[in-house]
Structure 1
Amino acid sequence: MSGVEGFIETWPEAIQPLTRRLREIALAAAPDVTEYIKWNAPSFCVDGDDRITLGLERSGAVRVVLHRGAKAKDAAGFVFDDPMKLARWAAPD
């Protein structure tokens, strides 16, 4: 097995189910999502732009990184709705 699934299999078994579930969610988010390994992590793109990266740690921690792109964008009107306060959005860029 190669690609993202093969990469997931190299991680401790305890982290694999959560990683696979997050992968399923990312792939189902839009019909044109593609996946690959970038930054030594499963990453998901739409139209060639990175949108989600799963930051895996051998300790079992998983970070879900939501990208808005590397180039500065106008942040006016940017809203990240998180009524349960589960996420920390460092900056609107």
Structure 2
Amino acid sequence: MAKQLPQSNAELVTGYIQNLDAPVAGIVEAIRQIILSTDPEIGEEIKWNAPSFLYTGEMKPFNPKEYKRHIIVMNLHKRILLVFPSGAKVNDTSGLLEGDYADGRRLIYIKSMDDLKSKGAGIRKVIKDWLALVEK
């Protein structure tokens, strides 16, 4: 019998999305493609029970509890929410990032595929601005 190889992070994310109900699965997959196509050093995993996206390149050492690698963590409980754990460090003048949380998190709510299409370019810009601030 062949040894079962562990699933890659991409396979885990794909499996997670395939188990979502329509139309949420399609919207989440479209968000995934926007995020991953923004920069080749963005990786993905399942973290906190949802797809999450992180910077995979070189960084200065830091305490792992600071989650400095994590760009976006999805929250899919009754809505589609993109959580930027350190979004406050991005100078977002568009108003796309919502909230004023003391821990530095900022949010983007996605209500539908049309809503995502209208926010896609803004999401890419926020990610690029976030990546420009990475301590390498």
Pairwise same-fold verdict (TM > 0.5): yes
Greater helix percent: which structure? 2
1:19 shift after superposition: 0.2
Q: Deviations over 1:11-39 (max 9, x none)?
A: 11220111001000110121111101000
Given the alignment of the two structures, is residue 29 of structure 1 paired with residue 27 of structure 2, yes or no?
no
Taking only the aligned residue pairs, the percentage that are identical comes to: 30
Map Cα deviations across residues 34-93 of structure 1 (whole Å, 9 max, x no partner).
101000000001037111111112x3x100111228xxxxx8xx453243x343132473
Question: Letter of the aligned partner of 2:33 in structure 1?
Answer: E
Map 1:52-91 → 2, pairs under 5 A = 52-57=72-77, 59=78, 61-68=79-86, 78-83=89-94, 85-91=95-101
TM-score, with structure 2 as normaliser:
0.52
In the alignment, which of 55, 70, 94 is matched to residue 46 of structure 1?
55
How high is the TM-score relative to the length of structure 1?
Answer: 0.73
Greater RCO (CA < 8 Å, at least 6 residues apart): 2
Superposition RMSD in Å: 2.5
Residues matched between the structures, number: 83
Classify the secondary structure of the residue corresponding to 1:29.
coil
Q: Secondary structure at the match of 2:75?
A: strand
Q: Which has the higher Rg, Structure 1 or Structure 2?
A: 2
Judging changes above 3 Å, is the alpha-carbon distance between structure 1 residues 91 and 80 closer, same or farther for their aligned structure 2 residues? farther
Greater strand percent: which structure? 1
Q: How far, CA to CA, are the matches of 2:30 and 2:90 in structure 1? A: 26
Report the Cα distance in structure 2 between the residues aligned to 1:17 and 1:68, rounded to whole angstroms.
Answer: 26
Q: Any gaps of 5 or more consecutive residues in structure 2?
A: 1-6, 58-68, 105-136
- Cα distance in structure 2, aligned partners of 1:89 and 1:82: 13
C-alpha change, 1:16 and 1:79, in structure 2 (3 Å) is closer
